[in-house]
Every structure is written in C-alpha cells, then in structure tokens.
Amino acid sequence: MSHPHPDLQLPGPLAPGALRIVPLGGLGEVGRNMTVFEHDGKLLIVDCGVLFPEDHQPGVDLILPDFDYIADRMDDIEAIVLTHGHEDHIGAVPYLLRLRRDIPLVGSQLTLAFLEAKLKEHRITPNLQAVSEGQRRTFGQFDLEFVAVNHSIPDALAVAIRTSAGSVLHTGDFKMDQLPLDGRITDLRAFARLGEEGIDLFMVDSTNAEVPGFTVAEREIGPVLDGVFTRADGRIVVASFSSHVHRVQQVLDAANAHGRRVALVGRSMVRNMTIAAELGYLHVPDGVLIDVKKIDDLPDDRVVLMCTGSQGEPMAALSRIANRDHRVSVGPGDTVILASSLIPGNENAVFRIINGLIRLGAKVVHQSNARVHVSGHASAGELLYCYNIVRPKNVMPVHGEIRHLVANGALAVSTGVPPERVVLAEDGVVVDLIKGKARIAGAVPCGYVYVDGSSVGGVTEAELKDRRILGEEGFISIFAVVDSSTGKIVSGPQLHARGVAEADEKLAEIVPEVTKALTEATAGGNVDTHQLQQVIRRVVGRWASTRLRRRPMIIPVVVEA
C-alpha cells in the first residue's frame, strides 16, 4: 500500500489525458466529504459536506472543506454531484456557491429537495438537475452513471465516472441491507456490470470496515421500538438525525400501533420530514402527527416527541430538554430513545445528555443497551462482496478515519487487489490515475475552515488555542500608566483576573514584582509601551506558572500619560 508522507510536495502539472483526484475532506475524518476530479482542464466535484466541531473547537458552529484549491478555478467546475442528503455531504454547498452560484447541482429528488430548502435560508436560487438510478448524464469531460445504493436515508446514489483516462466508481455512503424499509436495495447487478466493463479506481465507503460481518437490517429496529413503546408509561422522546426518514417512519408506525400521537420538534426535523412526506418518502398515518403546542392537551402516555440532538449538539432540542431549557420537559416515568450511533468525537457530549436525562428521572434507551439503531454503512463482509463483484484495478478507501481507511485497504488486498494498487490518502493528498494505475502525486494545502456565527474562515487555529486557554486557564489583565517624559509609573499596576480561582489576596502578591520590573525597565526614560507590556507578561507569566501552576492568558495594557 502507498501511504501519504508529511514531506509530500505540491503536485506537478497533470499529465495529458490523465485523471486527478483531490480529496478536500472525508479522508481521515467522519464528515466534511468532498472530492475534486480533474480531467482535461475541467473539474467535477462529488459531495460538499460539513464536519461538526468537537470539544476542543469551542465556539465553532461548522467546519467546511478548504476551497482554496479550487477558488480560482470556479469557472472550470462542470457540476457538483451529491450522493445523498446528509449534512456531511451537502452542508457546505451554500458556502461553495458563494464563489459561483450557477454551478449545476446534480442529485436525486430527495437530496436536492433537502438542499433546496437549505439554500433558501442562504437566499440562493440553485441550478438543480435531478437524476435517478440507471440514468447517464454527461457534464463536460465526465460521463456519469448513477447507481442505487441503500443507506440510512432514501434516494442515495453511487456514481460511476467515465473519462478517457479511465472509469471510477464512487460508492458514496452505502450498505447492503437486503430487506430495506423502502424496498430499494444496493444495485449489485449494476456494480457487477460496471466491473465487467472495467473499473480503474474503486472509491469505497470505509466507515464500518473494522466491523466484521454484515450490518444489521433496518427491519430489526421495528420490534425493538415496539417493545420500548409497550413498556413506556409516560412520554416517549425519540432523538434522531433530522434526515433519517426511515427511523421517523418506524417511530410513526410504532406510535400509531400504540395509540400515541407524534409531534416533531426542531426546525430541521420539521422541515425535512415535511419535504419527505410531500415527496412520498414518508408515509404518515392519518391523525398521528400533531403540533408540538398541543402535547400538553394529551395524557403523557399518548405522546411521542421526535426531535433532533442525538449527537449531543448543544443547541439541538434534546440537549435543551436535558438542560431544562425547552418547552418540552421530561421526568420520572418518561422514556428517551437515542436512535442513532455515536459519531466519533461526540461521545462526551452524548454521555452528558444521557446523564442529564437520567438525573431528571427519565429512562434512557440507546445503542449500548438496546438495538434502537443500526448503521447506514457496509461492514467488512459487505465490502468483501463488493470487491469480489467489481474486481477493480485500483482501490482508494474514502469516508472514514485513518483506522477505517487502513482496514478497508486491507480488505481490498485480501480479495486479490495488489497492495501497490491500494492508495491510502488523506485530505489534500493528490492521486493521479495514469495509464490504469493510481499513484500519489503530491499534496495541496487543505486545512479546516471554521464557521463561527456569520464569520466564515475568520477563526484561526491560534484563536481556537486562545479560546481553549480562556476556557481552561482563565485570564489575568494588568493595567498601568507611565509618564511619557520621565518613564515613572503614574497609576497602577492594577490587576484583574477571571477564571483563575484564586483569592484577591493571592493575586495581589504579584503587584510589587510588576511595579519593580516596570521601574527598572523605565529607568532612563524608556517608555516603549510594547516593550513594557512584554516585561509585564514575562513577570506575571513566570509567577502564575510557579505559584499557581497555571498558564492563564495574560493581557498587559500600558498607557502613556
């Protein structure tokens, strides 16, 4: 297997007739999926999603792919292909369209409907081009064929990309549920046909590559939910992804069978399920759905609340319910079901919510104590089937952390793919397909782009470090006024601290040392305020480290008078 190295240089010009693949997200992480294909001077993008922040990224709302690589080539983009409607595949599209609004957006009916609703919030009128499985469409140099795949959202597609440099099959997110709720299975016949035609590069979902066997069928969730509903005496709150149509369908069916009414909670949940119902992907039994404002008119044992927040998102409905900051309340006798798997990095946030709900007296049912969720990704056994069916010349694992990519690559090798034909790449690592062989050609800068409120890209790693210091160590500010002619201290130094957790008497110890250091530094009339601020920072920093064993942020202010 060929591995990326930290010493990779910028790639050279693309060889005539070759195909270049540049992942800008989704390789080395679960989320932020985006891949750029370049051929004969034109670009095709597959997916454009977001990554959700972790605890060490305070204040960040979303993380985008780094568009710098293509920012000056927007006119070369033929289309953006969207494999399905999850946020980690479509969430960054509004931000990319700020650079060019008329890029064709290609995807299935439900995918584009979810995206269109999102773009309305950004006041963008998109160029939508709906496709379905079995169709072929040409965009510039790229001949695309769309293949049905089964996932945890309806209408997911794999895409075969034919070029004069070779053919690529990108699975998107998929699994091989043989009894899906909507009857739409992964089209292995199309995979086999494409394999017979010849797949030069197979780009395969890696999320469950470490999981042996086969992913459990969605139908197995139904009886478990039915059992939970049977035993529940009070309100039932079900938390899921706002786009998980299948899970919402199962909750609606279970509620209908047990004489309960369902209220959708959370703006994205209401928006997405309204779209899914209008398009026929969600079938709502008569009289089951009610407005959340009417739940207090019903007995608790007749209420089900379907909400967002299964990943511990702080502003989502479930988190606010756990913090008693929502009109919906839970308590003893109520049951909360977390109908989703844990995305890596969200564990602490989810466990905090579980503990908070249990503290309120609710019973919490989650993946660790009941089968209330199954993954939407193919496990190792399913991936082996795909490799044996497609028989690709080269393999490039996608969508997953490093451990997932490596495990997926090992599966490919076990089916007979030569190790040197398995390319393990991370975000920014450039892969060229030349004369039937994929190889690493270099790397391009590919950092995180943070969305913080209305700011996009304004937050840097240095600023995040400052936020972490403020949150973990606190800060100390010192104010002093010096005479501009004599250099003598006119006022101060005055010290203020926040988040340091020490008494004022303790902090007052440093004032004489700061005074002494300033007096020595200003001897002879030196009133360079920048230098004096550095003197204060060194003195206070040394004192805080030795006496308090802390490294707070130190903000010295020196003013001339």
Binding annotation for substrate: 373-377
d(CA 159, CA 310): 30
Q: Specify burial of residue 164 (Cβ count, 10 A radius: 0-12, 13-18, 19+).
A: exposed
User: Which candidate, 320, 291, 293, places its Cα nearest to that of 308?
Assistant: 320
Query: What stretch of H or E contains 538?
Result: helix 529-543
d(CA 419, CA 475): 52
d(CA 289, CA 304): 10
Q: How does DSSP classify residue 300?
A: G
Contact (CB, 8 A) for 430 and 441: yes
**What one-letter code names the amino acid at 269?**
M
The number of beta carbons lying within 10 Å of the beta carbon of residue 63 is 25
Residues flagged as binding site: 373-377
- E strand segments, 150-301: 157-163, 166-170, 201-205, 236-239, 261-265, 289-290
Cα dist from 489 to 14, 435, 538, 558, whole Å: 64, 75, 18, 10
Give the distance from CA 88 to its chain's centroid: 5
**What one-letter code names the amino acid at 324?**
R
Contacts (Cβ under 8 Å, ≥6 apart) of 171 = 149, 158, 202, 203, 204, 205, 386
Contact (CB, 8 A) for 65 and 24: yes
d(CA 457, CA 464): 12
Contacts (Cβ under 8 Å, ≥6 apart) of 49 = 25, 26, 31, 32, 33, 34, 65, 86, 87, 88, 89, 90, 91, 92
